[in-house]
Amino acid sequence: MIAPGCTIAGCAVAGSSRYQEGLTQMLLAVDIGNTQTVIGLIHGRAIESRWRMATDATLTSDEIRVKISGLLALDGHEHDAIDGVAIASVVPSLTAAYEDLAERITGTRPLVIGPGVKTGLAIAYENPREVGADRIVNAVAAIEAHGAPVIVVDFGTATTLDVVDASGAYLGGAIAPGVETSAEALFRRAARLSAVDLEPPTRVIGRSTRESIQAGLLFGEAARVDGLVRRTWLELGYECPVVATGGLAERISPLCETITAVDIDLTLTGLALVWERRQ
């Protein structure tokens, strides 16, 4: 059955619908993932600029500053306009570099999501310190936009599924290799298979090696996500909205049967929400 207040509808691409007004200051939100880093400039709860770049764990704070200065300048912004910085990172070696950068451009310490930081999210995980910062802020933003209960599927280096129950508590979820990670392992281990672009296939029965790989990777990923979601609904005892995010969300979500919304800015929105609540 569907939880009270929830409906299962067709998949829609949208931002967080309830996230419309608020921040009067300019926030630089930084989501440091294993493969890509997404940076957003947020003002008035509107993401004015968004940039995605490859994560390089060897960068120093000076090198990061050069990169971010260039991105800001391209969109007509300057460091002086930034009032605060919020960071969610799964790459410890880069966290300190971004913290140093934040202090240099704002004169204040950034908000770094991690153990001991109050986010307003109740965590029912066995060891809350093990929950990734991105998973926490995704859950915060999903509750704000869709209410609770809600499930978040993040298509990144890993494909993660995170569950918030009807009381608004983060329960945990599932972690699996992301589709690009699986593809890299396949091409590395299978000598006769060459890398292909991850374009959505038109059929399951591939008529060429390229089509067969695309079908296996993308339809396979969609089937895995749908299977995990349905098993989660069974454990919860009810169905609830499923919101997708991450770099491949817009590409894979249309192949899924259980995803009800796509929000590529979920992590940035969650960072802004937590930062605002702590002001």
Q: Measuring CA to CA, how many Å separate 181 from each of 133, 188, 194?
A: 20, 11, 15
Asked if 134 is an active-site residue, the reply is yes
Pairing state of beta strands 150-155 and 242-245? parallel
- Considering 134, 154, 162, 263, which one is annotated as catalytic? 134
Task: Measure the CA–CA gap between 13 and 264, rounded to whole angstroms.
Answer: 8
The rounded distance, in Å, linking the Cα atoms of 227 and 154 is 15
Chain length of the chain: 279
| DSSP class per residue in 66-90 | HHHHHHHHHTT--GGG--EEEEEES
Would you say 173 and 161 are in contact if contact means Cβ atoms under 8 Å apart? yes
Report how far residue 36's alpha carbon sits from residue 157's, in angstroms, rounded to the nearest whole number.
9
| AA letter at 148 | A
C-alpha closest to that of 41 among 76, 3, 13: 76
* Residues marked as catalytic: 134
